[in-house]
Amino acid sequence: MTAGRTKRQEKAKAAARELDSSRKVSILWLRDVLRVLCRKRTATRKEIITETGLNTASLSHTIKYLSRHGTVLKVGSLESEAGRRREVYNLNAEAAFFLALDFEQRLRFALLNLAGDIRGHWELPLEWGEAPDMERILQGFQRLLRTLEPHQVRRVVALGISYSGMLDGQGRLTAVNLGLRNFPFVSELNEKMKSLVSPDLAIFLEPDRHCAMWAERWLGQAREHRNSILLFSESGIGCGLCVDGKPVEGWRNLAGEIGHITVSADPNLHCKCGKQGCLETVASSPAIVRHYLALTGQRNRKERAVTALEVYDKARGGDGSARTVVDRAVEGMALALSHVIHLINPGIIILGDDFAGPEDYLIPQLRAKLENLVLPELMDGIQIVASHLGPDMRLRGAGALALRKSLEAPELLTKICSPVLPHSKR
């Protein structure tokens, strides 16, 4: 066991002892109550008891502790049918802050509060195959931190990172859709971010598809669904899966690589992963543009001359070439999704990023093709909708990752629940 690991374990035990001390507040109670309030923002005692299963005495101890420290604020009371007053509590969104990074074709940075509101946002373009300049990444975070008061900077708990591609055991990133191989991402970022913010800053990373799914579970269309599929496209194609209320991550955190399911036997559809006929070769945003330019005799034009959303608009308007491209993309999407539907029996399919924009055109076609591929019993009642989270879906998911992991770690939960300065209560 390393000295660093031993030190972290000792800090976690000390934090747990502090929370479980004379106040008789269990760390589990704090975690459960904050999970409810982070999701609902405002809740009555009865609602918290219903969702957490805590008894009245346990909840009273927990609410008093959180109220005394300013993490939770009493905002009033409601009269019940029996004539009793129900106390209403609100999460103090400024009790903690989280940094988030969406590592995609455009690097997106955000500062979020405890309620998931984006307090600050910044973007940095990234050329294909270009290794990110770590100093520029740090400057992005510095821009966000400058929007906080010094006492608020001390309440920045963690950084959540959504990344495209795969991380190996040494923290090196390979993302074929970004042209990166074995980029030493984690080691460089870990050291410099801790110097910038705090030695205690926690850093958590998850694949973009998992982060996007957590965002939909926390803030989006999947909040009321225990079994769901999220399909999104930008430089590649990602798929987030949720089964029985829990996002599916897989043995090596690689679940959801739907973009590399083979959907075509065309030998000319070469994927950057080395295979042929992957879903990404027909339905990713770069593929949509590339095939449209080829069909319209503009193969030599720069792909940025038109966007995937513009191709969808042309198809909606009756452009024959655009419709040919989009029809093939939808056929591939339906074939790949049909396998997933048979495996996990979702109640909802959510389309995100560039798939969300043309929802009125895509969704009817996608449903029609799925109904020809999927058992009727599995398609009956299934919803197909567009995400409402916009281009910040993965960024919000990175924030959700930082929050979720912080609530699970005693030392980070201690920091969230530490006393808030009076003027920062809102």
Rounded Cα distance between 201 and 412, Å, is 9
- The size of the chain, in residues, is 426
Q: What is the pLDDT along the chain (426 residues), one digit of tens a residue?
A: 455 556 656 655 555 555 544 456 889 999 999 999 988 889 999 999 999 999 999 999 999 999 999 999 998 776 655 556 678 999 999 999 999 999 877 889 999 999 888 999 988 877 766 667 788 888 999 999 999 999 999 999 999 999 887 888 777 888 776 777 887 778 778 888 888 888 889 999 888 888 999 889 888 899 889 999 999 998 889 899 999 988 898 888 889 999 999 999 999 999 988 899 999 999 999 999 999 999 998 876 665 678 999 999 999 999 999 999 999 999 999 999 999 999 999 999 999 999 998 999 999 999 999 999 999 999 999 999 999 998 888 899 999 999 999 999 999 999 999 998 654 444
b/e burial code for range 228-242 (CB count within 10 A of at least 16 → b): bbbbbbbbbbbbbbb
421: phi then psi, degrees, rounded to nearest 5? -60, 140
Fold of 18-91: Arc Repressor Mutant, subunit A (1.10.10)
Phi-psi region at 116: left, alpha or beta (left = phi > 0; alpha = psi -120 to 50) = left
The whole-number pLDDT of residue 1 equals 44
Fold of 94-210+393-424: Nucleotidyltransferase; domain 5 (3.30.420)
The whole-number pLDDT of residue 224 equals 87
Phi-psi region at 300: left, alpha or beta (left = phi > 0; alpha = psi -120 to 50) = alpha
The whole-number pLDDT of residue 423 equals 47
Q: How are strands ordered across the β-sheet holding 228-233?
A: 246-247, 237-243, 228-233, 348-353, 383-386
Nearest in space to 398 (alpha carbons), one of 27, 129, 141: 141
110: phi then psi, degrees, rounded to nearest 5? -150, 150
Nearest in space to 324 (alpha carbons), one of 293, 302, 354, 352: 293
Rounded Cα distance between 332 and 337, Å, is 8
The whole-number pLDDT of residue 3 equals 53
Report the interhelical angle of 393-408 vs 27-40 (nearest 10°). 160
Tell me the CATH class for 225-388: alpha beta
Nearest in space to 404 (alpha carbons), one of 227, 206, 186: 206
The C-alpha torsion from 279 through 384 and 256 to 182, rounded to 10°, is 70
User: Three-class SS of residue 382?
Assistant: coil
Q: Do domains 18-91 and 225-388 have the same CATH topology?
A: no
Question: What are the residue ranges spanned by the domains of the chain?
Answer: 18-91, 94-210+393-424, 225-388
Residues 6+ apart with CB under 8 A from 370: 334, 337, 338, 341, 379, 384
Angle subtended at Cα 176 by Cα 140 and Cα 271, rounded to the nearest 5 degrees: 145
Angle subtended at Cα 330 by Cα 325 and Cα 335, rounded to the nearest 5 degrees: 130
The whole-number pLDDT of residue 13 equals 58
- The whole model's pTM is what? 0.80
Tokens of 359: 């929802």
Largest CA distance in the chain: 76
The whole-number pLDDT of residue 236 equals 86
The whole-number pLDDT of residue 426 equals 44
